[in-house]
Amino acid sequence: YRFLNMRKRDSALSGPGPVVHVLRMDGMDADRVREFSSLLDAEERTRRARLRRETDRVLFSVAHGFLRTCLSRAAQEAGGTVHPGAWRFATREGGKPEVRPPGIDFFPVFSLSHARGVAAVAIAAEGMIGVDAEGCKAERGELRDMARISLAEEERADLLARRHGDGAAAWRRFFRYWTLKEAYVKALGVGLSKPLDSFAFRLCPAPELVRDADRDTDGWFFASRRVGSFRLALAYKGNA
């Protein structure tokens, strides 16, 4: 487990901002898995039981138990005490989950992402927040086809202009775009209803949302980090 500082010193983000926690699951022993599993509520256990593969059930248990642990730590830092197993959740329109804290006046916003071998939790006191974690190995299939499905026109042009060089580098750049787009959509809480070509990012010198056909792009903070073989992205916008 580690805390990941996603902010740079020259970032325009002010105030406490978001906190990102990352858990690497490689080599996790059975006792730790059972500890996280014991924190789940009945609804989470039902969702876990629907998963067909044991590896997916373990990933679900650890990721959601880790989320609960991170929320309890955030509550403690805010002056409250909540056992990780006591948190309750609701789902807003669009499918974005929100927290129902038991017995304290603490309503953080959060986002959870997990991939095979890693879980990431982003938490903030208010605003909109999304995090995405993906393994950044080259996928089967043609990069051009993946870009056509997943990226906006200007993102595709940037990516495909580089694809004749290092193929692995092109795939890494694709995952930078992909995780940023996933994190942004999760922060908005709109799920798959938002077309991925309706908004676009620029990666350098820092991730920036340069176009969104549906809303203003001002006030957003984005970050992208490599953690081992994984790519993490954060999207956050405060209420101010």
Cα–Cα distance between 27 and 151 in angstroms, integer?
A: 34
User: What is the residue type of 109?
Assistant: V
Say if CB 109 and CB 92 are below 8 A apart.
no
The percentage of the chain sitting over the pLDDT mark of 90, rounded to a whole number, equals 60
Which comes out higher in pLDDT, residue 104 or 113?
A: 113
Say if CB 230 and CB 20 are below 8 A apart.
no
Q: Each residue of 70-92: pLDDT tens digit? A: 999 999 988 888 999 999 998 88
pLDDT at 198 > cutoff 50: yes
Distances (CA, A) of 168 to 34, 46, 100, 135: 37, 39, 43, 13
Average of per-residue pLDDT values in the chain:
87
Dihedral, CA of residue 68, residue 72, residue 73 and residue 76, to nearest 10 = 170
Backbone angles phi, psi at 210, to 5 degrees: -100, -15
Cα–Cα distance between 18 and 6 in angstroms, integer?
A: 8
The pLDDT assigned to 195 comes to 92
Cα–Cα distance between 20 and 86 in angstroms, integer?
A: 21
Tokens for 223, please give them.
Answer: 């970050």
pLDDT at 7 > cutoff 70: no
